[in-house]
Amino acid sequence: MFEYFYHEILRKTIIAFGTLFNGIEIKHTDSSDDVTEVIKVPLAYGPTQKFLARLEQSAELSKSTQISLPRMSFEFVGLQYDSSRKVTTTQTFVTTDTDDKTEVKKAYMPVPYNMAFELTVYTKLNDDMLQIVEQILPYFQPAYNLSVNLVKEVGEKRDIPVVIESITMQDDYEGDFTTRRSLYYTVRFTAKTYLFGPVSSASKDLIKKVRVGYVEGGDTKTPTRDVTYSVVPRAVKNYTGDEITTLSQDVGDSAKYLEVADTSGISDASYIVIDNEQMYILEIISGTKLKVERGTDDTTKASHVSGTGIGLITAADNALIEVGDDFGFDGEVF
């Protein structure tokens, strides 16, 4: 039932989460409010308990010569399915491979999961803590979107919302003179990511070419004519969304001529799409006028207003044909 695949989605999300907190700085000033020291707060991946154990067991870490405090650490602490973002499990999407640009890849819709993170901030001084926290919290209102390239093969790049769930703080200042103060805040986050299954080639699901042969006559042992008909699927939608020109006049639902801004990118015997209506170019009358066949491939004839974009169906659209698309065929007899 299962096959090997590894998109590194969890790893990429963890790394992206950590990069949010790179580059945080604190400043120390003197009595005249002149900056005397700028400290870049180091960030590491690891559990809070190990950092606290080191602080408690190594008293010398409080010396100013040691670059130990302030410090931040983060940890991936939980994973939970998110039913509120569920989509149809059997739904698929098709796109071209990001490397060779020609092979068509297919993948099922992703499964939503929530990743739980804990960010812990350790400082010796309370003002250091407040500087760090104040540089983090304003960006989450209530979420901050991380752009993560989840699946490289199909170029699936999504914004992952990161939400603050809770903030806890602890200031252990009680004790004798030799006991070191322990001041740390813990901020809990949820990253709403998606997990993808295996990516497969869509060529086995799409009809790329069909050849139909037959012989004329009742006796197949002595055929009088052998004919092969070859057909290639053609897209009936402008999947790329590219617009080559616009309408320069309003068009009624029965008009057979179009006035456009420019016809330099259009050729005879090609297909264009205006809104949801497909049209076949019968003839280019001039540099701005087209003679068309309306409502081809069972699309609905409709009125269109001046300025509406016109898309041209090209080979790039043919490469993005979706499974189940009622695509047309071109062909020739050999």
User: Minimal CA–CA distance to 128: which of 46, 185, 79?
Assistant: 185
pLDDT for 93 beyond 50: yes
Question: What pLDDT does 145 receive?
Answer: 92
Question: What pLDDT does 187 receive?
Answer: 94
DSSP notation for 165-177: EEEEEEEE--S-T
Average pLDDT, the chain: 79
Task: Give the pLDDT band of residue 105 (cuts 50, 70, 90).
Answer: confident
Least confident range of 13-22, 262-271, 296-305, 324-333 = 324-333
Residue 9, φ and ψ in degrees, nearest 5 = -65, -45
Percentage of residues in the chain having pLDDT higher than 90 = 34
- For the stretch 185-219, pLDDT in tens is 999 999 999 998 888 765 555 555 555 555 555 55
Question: What pLDDT does 273 receive?
Answer: 92
Average pLDDT on 128-134 reads 92
Please state, in angstroms and as integers, the Cα–Cα distance from residue 144 to each residue in 90, 119, 164, 249, following that order: 30, 15, 9, 44
Which tokens sit at 135? 């540089």
User: Which domains, from first to last, does the chain contain?
Assistant: 9-201 (3.30.2000.40), 233-333 (2.40.33)
Residue 17, φ and ψ in degrees, nearest 5 = -65, -45
What pTM, to 2 d.p., does this model score?
A: 0.54
Least confident range of 152-156, 214-218, 326-330 = 326-330
